[in-house]
């Protein structure tokens, strides 16, 4: 590649602007405009691509709705009720509070679709519970909260899977269903590590919840527990599209928090709406930048050129998937996950299609990989968030994260080598891919 070509200078500009502190979405827009100017193309094309991508994509409406649902969940007593339910289920075992941390992430995964929302919401609460009276080391509690938060964007609903559906034209409904088993597999690996650590480090046993209280605790949490069921049944039954399901999720969360639990004040509702708008704007700018830059990538014919190169290597579909995993794991150490999903993955999709890789399996594998990047040193965004929440040194946090990360990478390899783990449930429900 010519280092003085418009594309090369565009990439250099994006990198330089990002390093100077400009948000990556703005950096991509500026770099793309520079490319159009240097290439002698109409710079107004950048605005056209941005507007067409954002305002003609019905699927993107799901993102703010899922974010709002998560904010409403965290604003009221819904979180407390669900944590009580989790504690009643697994709290009686050694290291039970740590197991509660894993279980609550499985349950909240069906509500927020965002790892960062889980870490900043219920994760902060679990950090306080685990470190109270010195029950667990602060770094271990923070590490566990970070790794359990990655379950959220895999088990439906999932904002990364919504974005993947946007760039790949894969079915959101089947992507959501395909994410269930991999998400549970990650949770299982985390529970196994916790069980081993509980015996090795002699973690405390919590006071067991009497069985006679379990029905009442379940009843109090039941409306919240039904949200993922309502979404999946509605999508699978054809009652609603995934985008409509996102609106239903927000409306359902509002109904439960305000009408049934009566736990959200007008002020809390205002702040939930405000936080949702801020988060949506941040994600929207990132998507906008990626849409414009992807146009540049398309004009340069990079996906097709990469496809030709990879085909010349005579890779098998499995060899290609292994290569993609290695590439994404390395990129996950230094890049933010949404950037990888919006900029790197579209370049890989044509090759995957040419090799006959199932787009639903590929999407789930990619999203799992990208989520692992959130807890992979040195960049892992969740690591930085938890160091601020827990006020622990990054070095200690990374030390406690690594056993969980190794176990989750092993789970990723299972997902890669055995597509049936991902696809059997969608096929059971009619998927023909």
**Confidence band for 109, pLDDT divided at 50, 70 and 90:** low
Q: What is the pLDDT of residues 384-409, one digit of tens each?
A: 778 877 788 888 888 999 999 999 99
Looking at residue 29, what is its pLDDT? 87
**Is residue 426 scored above 80 in pLDDT?**
yes
**Is residue 180 scored above 80 in pLDDT?**
yes
Looking at residue 422, what is its pLDDT? 93
Please state, in angstroms and rounded to a whole number, the distance separating the CA atoms of residues 148 and 275. 23
**Is residue 269 scored above 80 in pLDDT?**
yes
Q: What is the pLDDT of residues 405-419, one digit of tens each?
A: 999 999 999 999 999
**Is residue 110 scored above 70 in pLDDT?**
no
Helices of type H across 132-206: 138-149, 159-168, 172-178, 180-200
- Listed residue (263, 251, 350) closest to 310, CA to CA: 350
Read off the pLDDT of each residue in 106-126 and give the average, rounded to a whole number. Answer: 64
Work out the percent of the chain whose per-residue pLDDT is above 70.
Answer: 88
- Is the overall model pTM greater than 0.85, yes or no? no
**Is residue 2 scored above 60 in pLDDT?**
no
| DSSP per residue, 395-410 | HHHHHHHHHHHHHHHH
Other beta carbons within 10 Å of 210: 8
**Confidence band for 48, pLDDT divided at 50, 70 and 90:** confident
Read off the pLDDT of each residue in 48-59 and give the average, rounded to a whole number. Answer: 72
**Is residue 112 scored above 60 in pLDDT?**
no
Highest mean pLDDT among 123-127, 287-291, 341-345: 341-345
Read off the pLDDT of each residue in 332-358 and give the average, rounded to a whole number. Answer: 82
Highest mean pLDDT among 78-87, 333-342, 362-371: 362-371
Q: What is the DSSP letter of 208?
A: P
Looking at residue 247, what is its pLDDT? 82
Looking at residue 25, what is its pLDDT? 80
Looking at residue 58, what is its pLDDT? 67
Read off the pLDDT of each residue in 296-308 and give the average, rounded to a whole number. Answer: 74
Which of 196-200, 218-222, 354-358 is least confident? 218-222
Q: Higher pLDDT residue, 422 or 230?
A: 422
- Listed residue (65, 61, 64, 99) closest to 83, CA to CA: 99
| DSSP per residue, 98-135 | HHHHHHHHHHHHTT---HHHHHHTHHHHHHHHHHGGGS
**Is residue 259 scored above 60 in pLDDT?**
yes
Mean of the per-residue pLDDT values of the chain: 81
Which of 189-198, 206-215, 316-325, 369-378 is least confident? 206-215
């Amino acid at each position: 590649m010519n280092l003085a070509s418009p594309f090369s200078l565009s990439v250099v500009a994006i990198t330089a602007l990002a390093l100077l502190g400009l948000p990556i979405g703005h950096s991509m827009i500026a770099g793309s405009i520079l490319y159009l100017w240097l290439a002698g193309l109409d710079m107004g094309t950048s605005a056209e691509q941005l507007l067409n991508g954002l305002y003609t994509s019905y699927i993107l409406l799901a993102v703010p709705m899922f974010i709002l649902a998560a904010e409403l969940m965290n604003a009221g007593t819904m979180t407390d009720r669900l944590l009580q339910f989790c504690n009643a289920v697994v709290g009686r075992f050694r290291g039970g509070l740590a197991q509660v941390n894993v279980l609550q992430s499985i349950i909240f995964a069906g509500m927020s679709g965002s790892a960062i929302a889980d870490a900043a919401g219920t994760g902060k609460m679990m950090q306080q519970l685990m470190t109270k009276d010195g029950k667990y080391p602060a770094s271990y509690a923070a590490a566990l909260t970070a790794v359990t938060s990655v379950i959220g964007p895999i088990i439906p609903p999932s904002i990364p899977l919504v974005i993947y559906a946007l760039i790949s034209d894969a079915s959101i409904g089947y992507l959501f269903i395909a994410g269930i088993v991999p998400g549970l597999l990650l949770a299982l690996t985390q529970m196994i590590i916790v069980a081993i650590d509980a015996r090795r480090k002699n973690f405390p046993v919590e006071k067991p919840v009497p069985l006679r209280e379990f029905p009442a605790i379940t009843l109090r949490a039941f409306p919240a527990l039904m949200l993922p069921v309502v979404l999946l049944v509605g999508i699978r039954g054809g009652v609603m599209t995934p985008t409509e399901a996102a609106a239903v999720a927000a409306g359902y969360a509002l109904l439960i928090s305000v009408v049934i639990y009566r736990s959200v004040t007008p002020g809390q509702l205002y702040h939930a709406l405000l936080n949702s708008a801020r988060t949506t704007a941040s994600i929207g700018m990132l998507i906008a930048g990626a849409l414009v830059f992807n146009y540049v990538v398309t004009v340069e014919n990079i996906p097709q050129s990469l496809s030709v190169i990879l085909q010349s290597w005579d890779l098998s579909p499995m060899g290609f998937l292994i290569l993609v995993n290695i590439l994404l794991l390395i990129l996950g150490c230094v890049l933010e996950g949404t950037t990888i999903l919006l900029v790197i993955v579209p370049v890989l999709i044509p090759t995957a299609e040419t090799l006959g890789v199932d787009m639903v399996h590929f999407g789930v594998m990619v999203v799992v990989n990208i989520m692992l990047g959130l807890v992979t040193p040195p960049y892992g965004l969740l690591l930085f968030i938890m160091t601020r929440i827990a006020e622990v040194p990054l070095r200690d946090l990374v030390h406690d994260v690594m056993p969980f990360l190794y176990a989750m990478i092993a789970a990723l390899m299972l997902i890669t080598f055995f597509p049936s783990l991902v696809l059997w449930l969608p096929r059971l429900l009619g998927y023909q891919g």
